[in-house]
Structure 1
Amino acid sequence: MPNIKSAVKRVKTISTRTLRNAAAKSALRTSIKKYELALASNDANAPALLKAACRSLDKAVTKGLLHKNTAARKKSRLTKKLNKTA
C-alpha cells in the first residue's frame, strides 16, 4: 500500500474501475454467448439477439473496453454467422 495520499486514492479508484470493467466485459461476453447459443439451436430469436450483441459491443467501445475496430470485426463475424445459417 502506498504512503502518498494521491497514490492511495489512485489504488482505490483503479480497483473500483477494474470491478466495473470486469462486470461490463462479462455482460458483453454473455450477450454474445446468448446469441451464439440461439444461432446453434436455430432459434427464431437470433436476429434480435444479434442486435442486442451489437449494441453491447458498441457500448463497450463507448466505455473504452474495446477498440472500435475490434468491435467492428466482432460484429462483422457475428453477422456473417447469421447470414450463413439463413
Structure 2
Amino acid sequence: MANTPQARKRIRRNQARTLINRNRVSRIRTLIRKVELALTAGDKDTAATALSAMQPELARGVAKGVVHKNTAARKYSRLTKALNALG
C-alpha cells in the first residue's frame, strides 16, 4: 500500500491515465474494425473513408505511447494493401 503522499498521487494519476489510454485504444480498435468490415464487404469507398479516419487516430496512439510504432505501421500497411487489392 502507498505510504507517501507522492505514491498516493501516483496511484490516482495512474488510474486516470489508464482510463484515458483504455478509451484511446478502444477507439483505435473500433476504427480498425470499421476498415476491416468494409474490406470484407468489398466496399472500396467506405473502406477508404474509414482508413483515412483510422490513420490519424493510430498515429496519435503512437505519439501518446499506447500503440507501438511498428505495430501501427504494420496495421496501416496491411489495411492499405488490402484496400488496393480490391481494385
**TM-score, L = length of structure 2:** 0.90
Say which SS state the counterpart of residue 16 (structure 2) adopts.
helix
Alpha carbon RMSD of aligned pairs, Å?
1.1
What is residue 31 of structure 1 aligned with on the other side?
31
Provide the C-alpha distance between the structure 2 equivalents of 1:31 and 1:81, rounded to a whole number of angstroms: 16
What is residue 5 of structure 2 aligned with on the other side?
5
Map 1:1-86 → 2, pairs under 5 A: 1-43=1-43, 44-86=45-87
Say which SS state the counterpart of residue 45 (structure 1) adopts.
helix
**How far has the Cα of 1:67 moved from its partner?**
2.0
Q: Which runs of 5+ in 1 are unaligned?
A: none
| CA displacement 1:2-50 (0-9 Å, x = unmatched) | 1211100000000000010000000000000011111111223111111
Provide the C-alpha distance between the structure 2 equivalents of 1:29 and 1:66, rounded to a whole number of angstroms: 11
Provide the C-alpha distance between the structure 1 equivalents of 2:38 and 2:85, rounded to a whole number of angstroms: 14
What percent of counterpart residues are identical?
Answer: 48
Provide the C-alpha distance between the structure 2 equivalents of 1:70 and 1:36, rounded to a whole number of angstroms: 16
Runs of 4+ in structure 1 deviating by more than 3 angstroms, as ranges, are none
